[in-house]
Amino acid sequence: MFKRVLALALLGLFATSTPLSAAPSSRYTTEVSIDVTAQDAASARDKGMKQAYRSAFLTIAGQNTSAEGLQKLSSLTDDQLLNFISEAAVVSEKASDVRYMATLEITINEPLLKAYMLEQGIPLVVRTASNVIVIPVFREFAGDSPLLWEQNNLWRQSWEQATSFNSINNYISIPADGINYSALDADKALSMDGLALDTIASHMGTKNIYVLDATYNGIEGLKVVVMPYNGNAPQTIFISGDRSPELFGKAIPEITRFIDSTIESQSVNISNSQPSEIVVIYRNSSLKDWISVENTLKNMNNIRNVKVDAMGKGKVQFRLEIIGSADSLSTALKAHHLNLQDNGGFYTLDKTIR
């Protein structure tokens, strides 16, 4: 399906401080769906577009600032906010006499947003992307036998079927491979069995593990106890709604938002940070392979620039201009199945086995 691009005239409210020609990175583009009714189709479309622009802006801004910074940005009026929209593409749309439904791909002007945040003293942060393993345990009632690997675990099914989490982190429902299956069952998960979870952490390559104990909350709704592997206290989240598969789908974004907030401490404030530079060697299997890796690097929050120094057969030497430490970068790269290794004076970059 072809996307129809909407031409947007920037009003120039903040345009004097930053040129608008710089191409935004893919993390400044997001997809938004709207479904709006009004007195007529034109009004519904106008109302829906304003909703879509605000939703896209706050989603992307929220990935690049603190909760306090996002609160300040959310006070912008619709007219002010429009200045930050550089492009909107219609992926699909339907309209009736009083209703407008559409899916839009919206791009925020990256340099303009960063310049405005700097002018207003709003912190710009880099969040370290992480693999997050969730262990969805389900019981209809607290006294029932808990389910984990069983086919009738509706909670785990919903996590496996989810395709987008609207998060910088990579959420993975624990796969039922040989090591995980033999190390863990529902009872061990609920008791936070240290030996079992240590095995899972070693096998999956991350300590970002959360046991999610879900039970129905009375006649309607869902209660989820979020139990982190890192030793922090469990937290309970309640989700309202009728008993149905949709209830589990509704719970997932609430759970991911909560987990995202618990690992936000890994964020690096870069408002006043000076970049550093490291030399990296990557052994590539083909030019296509290198281009894919280069695009991944360029779209990471804590990398400002990729400068290629030399390319030979099967090898690329380049410099990375980074924000924060090489250790935090190494952690972020693991979420993209890349391993950064310090070799004393230079680094090597390799792909990890998926």
Q: Of 90, 123, 156, which residue is a domain's last?
A: 123
pLDDT at 323: 81
* Alpha helix (H) residue ranges in the chain: 41-62, 67-73, 78-82, 110-120, 154-161, 178-183, 186-190, 194-204, 245-262, 287-298, 326-334
CATH label of the domain that carries residue 253: 3.40.50
Q: Are residues 74 and 44 in the same domain?
A: yes
How does DSSP classify residue 301?
T
Question: What domain range is 279 assigned to?
Answer: 272-351
Structure tokens at 56: 């896209």
For residues 136 and 247, membership in a common domain is answered with yes
Residue 171: per-residue pLDDT: 93
The Cα 276–Cα 327 span in angstroms is: 13
70-90: pLDDT as tens digits:
899 999 999 999 999 999 999
Distances from the Cα of 118 to the Cα of 65, 73, 326, angstroms: 11, 12, 25
Residue 342, sorted as left (phi over 0), alpha (psi -120 to 50) or beta, turns out to be beta
> Structure pTM?
0.52
Residue 328 and residue 306 share a domain: yes
Answer yes or no: do 228 and 154 share one domain. yes
Q: Does residue 332 share a domain with residue 257? A: no
**pLDDT at residue number 272:** 58
Same domain for 117 and 136, yes or no, is no
Model pLDDT, residue 165:
76
Q: Point out the domain boundary residue: 123, 157, 182.
A: 123
158-169 pLDDT, tens digit per residue, is 999 887 777 778
**CA–CA distance, 287 with 214 (Å, rounded to integer):** 47
> Could you give the 3-state DSSP secondary structure of residue 353?
coil
Per-residue pLDDT, 16: 35
For residues 122 and 264, what is the distance between their CA atoms, to the nearest angstrom? 16
Beta-carbon contacts of residue 57 (< 8 Å; ≥ 6 apart)? 73, 76, 81, 84, 85, 108
Residue 267 counted as domain residue:
no
pLDDT of res. 270:
61
pLDDT, the chain, mean: 84
- Please list the ranges in the chain whose pLDDT falls under 50: 1-2, 5, 7-25
Strand-pairing partners, residue 108, are 85
Residues 246 and 315 in one domain: no
Q: Helices (H), strands (E): how many in the chain?
A: 11, 16
Beta-strand pair 99-108/85-95: antiparallel
